[in-house]
Structure 1
Amino acid sequence: MFFRSYFDEKLAQYSYMVACQKTGEAIVIDPARDITPYVETAQKEGFRLTAATETHIHADFVSGARQLAHDHGVTLYLSDEGDENWKYQYLDNLSAQLVKDGDVFMVGNVEFKVMHTPGHTPESISFVLTDRGGGSTEPMGIFTGDFVFVGDVGRPDLLEKAAGVKGTAASGAAQMYDSLQKFRQLPDYLVVWPGHGAGSACGKSLGAVPLSTVGYEKANNWALQEMDKEQFEKELLKDQPEPPKYFAVMKKVNKAGPAVLTNETIPYVETYKELEPYISREDTIIVDTRNGNEFAQGHIEGTINLPYTKIFTNWAGWILDYEKQLVLIAEEQQTVHIQHSLESIGLDRIAAFASPNVVSEAPELEKYANINVDELKAQYEKEDVYVVDIRQQGEWEAGHIPTAHHHMLGYLEEEADQLPKDKKLIIHCQSGARSAIGASLLQAKGFKNIENLASGFAGWKNENGPVK
């Protein structure tokens, strides 16, 4: 048997390939939308991509299952659990097999047994793997998707918080408790291959270790310690982070079927004159992917700063409008990676990329100041200053700058009308990365008197400033 894992650090998402070395057949579990890594592995190892499967209808990224079926004719093994609201809608004319609890399917001589594990979502399933081709009659491991992570379990509140489906958080928590009782019955030696690692919003305390065992999780995972159902449900729902707004979009996309990607070339604009037609269009967002310091020193009015770093994909999903086309200012060598990052969460409407040189050619540039803690202290209590803390709710509750006002970055644009236009706005997050994004959003909304606390709340605490 052949095994390979893949990790998208921007989404903290794991996918896997398993192949039967005797027959050359390979399956991809929870494929990302960019299927290139799986194709390259198969070609390198001499395998045929014959199957793909998902543990559930994903909310945090666009699945590559449909792309694999379109490009390589793979058979899709997808959940038939849950009610009519949890059924795949794009399977006509594709080779697909719907599976339920207890079903078994083979990829060559490798066996996959389906285990219904609702809680994160009603249709969630896990796959217990047994290497029959290697002569084993005992299972090796389990692909748990968003059911059991290293140190945590999948959150059940996404449907209610992100999609507005009332009552699903409580019912999901109850289902998760029951599913974990099934998990407890598995052999301790079973390897656990989760769908996400640290950094994912699909749980609140995911570990950074890429795999675990059933026995280790029973001993160390908070959710598998002894507690009654009521206590478990209360603990599971407590302190879950805000789910990104784009999660609701992803659920619909993966249920209805993602668009099949083509290899169309996206134009790369080299001059401001070529960029200019896009700037005044109401259906277009100009995104500047340079780092926050460069952006602060000069940028085209109305552009949004989303530096191409580890947090790019998540915040693109939070703040970009899926109904508008995008033009991205970026170095040419980054464009393919940026495109894949955006497409991974369904932001497919990329009209063009533009060279950073277009900024220096612009007739007029906007700026904002990056300030330090001493500069903030000198003015934060003044009546004409409004301090905006854009961190998440849990960060705010753990401590914040006196007189600050909380407007979480993901909701900043829609809460902008609550901010005073006659005062200076000083924006901050924990370290300065998110506040650079926030400063650009507010400037684009017409707030021109803005400063950014470059060292963030961490810098404030280090200077022994008072914390509430």
Structure 2
Amino acid sequence: MFFRQIYEKGLAHASYMVGCQASGTVAVIDPQRDVDVYLRIAEQEKLRITHVLETHIHADFLSGSRELQQVTGAELYLSDEGGPEWQYQFPHVGLRDGDTFMVGNVKFEVWHTPGHTPEHISFLVTDTPASSKPIMFFSGDFVFVGDVGRPDLLEKAAGYAGTMERGARQLFASLQRFKQLPDYVQVHPAHGAGSACGKALGAIPHSTVGYEKITNWALQFDDEDAFVRALLEGQPEPPRYFAMMKKLNKEARNVLPDGNVPVLPRLSGEEIEQLRRKGTLIIDTRDKFSFAGGHIPGSINIQNNNAFSTWAGWIISYDQPFALVTPPDHLEEVTRKLIRIGLDHAAGYLADVADWAVEGRQLATLPQMTVHELAKHIEQGDVVVLDVRNQSEYDAGHIAGALHIFAGYLEQQLDRIPRDRLVAVHCAGGDRSSIATSLLHRYNFSNTVNVTGGINAWIAAGYPVQPSTQSVAVAL
């Protein structure tokens, strides 16, 4: 039997290759969109990709199933569970609870495990030459290490009213079945720590049924109502792009030619200036300190780090052009992170802001404020503190009197921010606040500054925070 996990840190996404070396065949489960990694492994191991499997219609990344099918000719094995609203709208081999199929000598049994989504399925795998007993459970977004898949995304991100509680109750029932598996069965989920598909995902890459029965908070409940309340409480804000992923993963869409990663054209300073004058969004992927020191006016700073894909999905529109400022040696990495969430329409990239800063063009700076300076302004009463962290972070402890608007919702709530007062923007450590402050400068809030080090620096300096007594943030 052949097994390999492929882990993409940016979206905390795990995909898998499971196959039979005797037959030289392999299945890929929940593939990312840049599929060259699977092709390379298959070639190295002398395996042929014959099956492409998905556990559900994903919300957090654009599946590479159709790219793999195009390149390899493999069959798509997808769920036909969940009812008419949750059906894939392109040709595939439909799977239902209890179905089985073979990849060489490896047996796959389909479990319908609704809750995270109505159509969700999992795969119970048996290495038949070794044993008649199952050894692996590919749980998708059903059971994670230390957590379970959130059931609120369809309602909060995609607008399907009434699905949140129903999904939570379905998940409770699915977990009762999961508990009946032997303790030794390995659990291989589709996500790890950092994913927005749950609220408490562990960093361990895989687990066992027995370990989860002992340590996973969600498997400790016997009372369904108590489970539902605990599950729906404290879930993180679902990124805005999730609704688009649901649509693109369900319907016919453009497939990358031969599965290749696009090569973006390099833009001159004059070309990006022409785009800027047309109002084209410019995303600067450099680190926040370089951006603060000098950037193209109106550009937004989304640093090329592990959170880049998620924040690109919050900020970049799918129906409007955008351009990048990124060093050439980062370009392929940035492009991969963009196509993994379906952002294929970049007009090109500028390699160096110095190429734009010619003929009298002046780079803009992003003003910074230390926590000590912030404390003095608060004492003087001449500053508005804007906290752009998520709701649970704010509730756990915030600066007294702070205005709370999550960074992902900022663009829809600009009318809450004063233009006639100094506004000091902070997050936990300065990354999200750099996004938020640069976005506010794009909308001509020239009175905004970024608090260096965020609330972590504030607390480390000995300044006080207070917990929330109730939620006051507006959620869109």
TM beyond 0.5: yes
Who is 1:169 aligned against? 164
Q: Which aligned pairs between 1:2-401 and structure 2 lie closer than 5 A? A: 2-91=2-91, 96-132=92-128, 134-262=129-257, 263=260, 265-269=263-267, 271-282=268-279, 284-356=280-352, 357-361=354-358, 363-401=361-399
User: After TM superposition, what 4+ stretches of structure 1 lie above 4 angstroms from structure 2?
Assistant: none
Q: CA deviation at 1:391?
A: 0.3
SS of equivalent residue, structure 1 residue 136: coil
SS of equivalent residue, structure 1 residue 178: helix
Q: CA contact under 8 A between 1:431 and 1:456: conserved in structure 2?
A: yes
Q: CA contact under 8 A between 1:275 and 1:358: conserved in structure 2?
A: no
Q: CA separation in 1, counterparts of 2:226 and 2:401?
A: 36
Q: CA separation in 1, counterparts of 2:212 and 2:370?
A: 44
Q: CA deviation at 1:383?
A: 4.5
Matched residue type, 1:281? K
Identity among equivalent positions (%) equals: 49
Q: CA deviation at 1:384?
A: 3.8
Q: CA separation in 1, counterparts of 2:356 and 2:183?
A: 58
Q: CA contact under 8 A between 1:381 and 1:403: conserved in structure 2?
A: no
Q: CA deviation at 1:274?
A: 2.9
Q: CA separation in 1, counterparts of 2:199 and 2:441?
A: 32
How big is each residue's C-alpha offset from its partner over 1:189-234, in whole Å with a ceiling of 9 and x where there is no partner?
0000001000001010000000000011111111111421111111
From 388, 413, 416, the equivalent of 2:414 is 416
Unaligned runs of 5+ in 1: none
SS of equivalent residue, structure 2 residue 157: helix
Q: CA deviation at 1:359?
A: 4.6
Q: CA separation in 2, counterparts of 1:281 and 1:140?
A: 57
Is the counterpart of residue 461 in structure 1 residue 459 in structure 2?
yes
SS of equivalent residue, structure 2 residue 377: coil
Aligned residues: 461
SS of equivalent residue, structure 2 residue 335: helix
SS of equivalent residue, structure 1 residue 413: helix
Q: CA deviation at 1:265?
A: 3.4
Q: CA deviation at 1:298?
A: 1.3
How big is each residue's C-alpha offset from its partner over 1:115-156, in whole Å with a ceiling of 9 and x where there is no partner?
000000000000000012x33211111000000000110010
Matched residue type, 1:209? I
Q: CA separation in 1, counterparts of 2:190 and 2:290?
A: 36
TM-score (norm 2): 0.95
Deviates more, 1:189-198 or 1:315-324: 315-324
Q: CA separation in 2, counterparts of 1:55 and 1:70?
A: 20
SS of equivalent residue, structure 1 residue 163: coil
SS of equivalent residue, structure 2 residue 237: coil
Q: CA separation in 1, counterparts of 2:85 and 2:380?
A: 53
- RMSD (Å) for aligned C-alpha atoms: 1.2
Q: CA separation in 1, counterparts of 2:363 and 2:420?
A: 22
Q: CA deviation at 1:164?
A: 1.6
SS of equivalent residue, structure 2 residue 392: helix
Q: CA contact under 8 A between 1:435 and 1:452: conserved in structure 2?
A: yes
Matched residue type, 2:308? F
Q: CA deviation at 1:358?
A: 2.6
Deviates more, 1:317-326 or 1:53-62: 317-326
How big is each residue's C-alpha offset from its partner over 1:3-33, in whole Å with a ceiling of 9 and x where there is no partner?
0001110000100001210111111000011
Q: CA deviation at 1:288?
A: 0.7
TM-score (norm 1): 0.96
Matched residue type, 2:195? S
SS of equivalent residue, structure 1 residue 363: coil
